[in-house]
Structure 1
């Protein structure tokens, strides 16, 4: 005779539910929710990881482009519709120099530039370092500075802080070329913003009011009438090495990039085209000039092929 099982054993053997609960429908719902959970988890991982991967690729490319890419000319990047300057020059992946322009430099206005030359001082010592520029749109050429390198930058062992101040007459992109003893050394590109076209104010020197850049260059303004030649007395301030040489005046009309010559001394016989002191200025010269059309014009005075500054005038009928 079999022994009767205790009541608790019988209760454990029975299913805990009154009816079968884990139906096929319930199974499908569980599987469906599990799939959604995996997809949501994957979406969260994607949202976090994909941007990080993309950012890493961008940063890696940027570092590669700046430090490894052996290109001499890097691509431009546009900001607010204006291409940015290419401020470093590389020769087969080796950087030779960089330039830091004065922020928001405008055409027609003198600005400062700091060059960092990477090679040892011996590369440049006793050589003539010349800066020239070419306007990429019009082809206009400018000689900006030229000097024999005799010593390092103050406080440095080389030319880590070579400074220059110059003015570029036209807006847009300029290629700035560095030459050593008239041989190409490298180039960068600078973007000049639109110039101001306010009439240049006058300043007093001696008994006269002079229109121009005070203590630099200007002339006694007799007014300008379109198509009429008149005489103008120019005044200059500076050392002889800056002011000894032929004198030339170019002009560009507002809204154009075409420069015309309105006065030029004889370049063959005018090794010293400027006369001596007058009206508080170091040098002076009398010229005859004519501007062909009404409107605003920017006068560009050059001595020895180097632009001193710019002067805006109004031409009437």
Structure 2
């Protein structure tokens, strides 16, 4: 009996050691000229845009390599802070695409996350309810909320827009009619600049509050974006409202991929 208990304990120690060793293999690698952070041939995070950094958080494309039975229709990203043992959902269930991609991965998805504590984090990926793999990140988050700023205004055609010029924006002039106020629903026309393959799929907007960290679904459309207009390559009309004052980041997804983000201010009603 003692022999079997000893063997069982030895197996658990070996398994944990192997897992820790595997986690420690996390590093930068390159596929098809694209730099990824993770485990080559298994799991890779590609930062999206200059404001995304694996040690601070941001927006990422995620690529998975695995057997068909290891993959699922949705994945979940869990963060475990080594020093405190804090466990948090960094990104809830989100769709996984198995369509052909530029890196030849078996599947791909996207994520948006940040860290609320410095130190070592283990990012665990679950496919459905099953553990897929994990990476280790040394987090150095910038916890200063004052760094957020409303996106700039720019002109396209005859309209003023807010966003990132020649990438993403919607018609907005910070006037009384179009201003955001808590729970005020308003129609906004989004405009996109990009390659044809980027401008595919359904349109989804997710919002994150700078003040509270609250994340909400702002707008969902099963329809595809329309054609060129106002100097942009594609467009779509949305109906949006935000629940509280302060700065909100609107993350726009096309076909399950993060296309771009716009920061807006929700004003107090007496302003």
Coarse TM-score class (shorter-chain normalised) = 0.5 to 0.7
Deviations 1:219-248 (A, max 9, x none): 112221112111111011223332222212
Residues 150, 263 of structure 1: alpha-carbon distance in 2 compared, 3 angstrom cutoff: closer
TM-score, normalised by the number of residues in structure 2:
0.58
- Which deviations, in whole Å up to 9, do the C-alpha atoms of 1:47-84 show, x marking residues without a partner? xxxxxxxxxxxxxxxxxxxxxx5225648xxxxxxxxx
Q: Residues of 1 paired with 2:201 and 2:61: CA distance?
A: 24
Task: Give matches, 1:29-48, under 5 Å.
Answer: none
Give the aligned partner of residue 210 of structure 1: 161
1:225 matched to 2:181: yes
1:133–1:174 Cα contact (<8 Å) kept: no
CA distance in 2, matches of 1:138, 1:210: 34
Aligned residue in 2 for 1:282: 233
The answer for the alignment partner of 2:91 in structure 1 is 140
Deviation at 1:216, TM superposition (A): 2.3
> Quick check: 1:105–1:111 contact (8 Å CA) kept in 2?
no
Which residue of structure 2 aligns with residue 258 of structure 1? Answer: 214
Q: What residue is the counterpart of 1:187 in the other structure? A: 134
Contact 2:57 2:141 in 1 (8 A): yes
Partner Cα distance (1:208, 1:168) in 2? 30
2:116 aligned with 1:168:
no
Q: Is the 8 A contact 1:131 1:176 kept in 2?
A: no
Which protein has the bigger helix share? 1
C-alpha RMSD over aligned residues: 4.5
**More deviation in 193-202 or 227-236?**
193-202
**Count of matched residue pairs:** 210
8 A contact 1:235–1:283 mirrored in 2: yes
Structure 1: where are the runs of 5+ without partners? 1-68, 76-86, 90-94, 118-122, 153-158
The structure that is strand-richer by fraction is 2
Instruction: Name 2:3's counterpart in structure 1.
Output: none
Describe the SS at the equivalent of 1:260. strand
Is 1:299 equivalent to 2:250 in the alignment? yes
**1:71 lines up with 2:19 in the alignment:** yes
The separation in 2 between residues aligned to 1:205 and 1:235, in whole angstroms, is 10
TM-score (ref. length: structure 1) = 0.51
Query: Following TM superposition, by how much is the alpha carbon of 1:185 offset from its aligned partner in structure 2, in angstroms?
Result: 6.0
Residue 131 to residue 188, structure 1, CA distance change in 2 (3 Å)? farther
Q: CA deviation at 1:251?
A: 0.9
- 1:9-49 CA distances to partner (integer Å, 9 max, x unpaired)? xxxxxxxxxxxxxxxxxxxxxxxxxxxxxxxxxxxxxxxxx
Gaps of 5+ in 2: 1-16, 25-36, 48-52, 80-87, 173-177
Query: 1 CA distance for matches of 2:235 and 2:96?
Result: 22
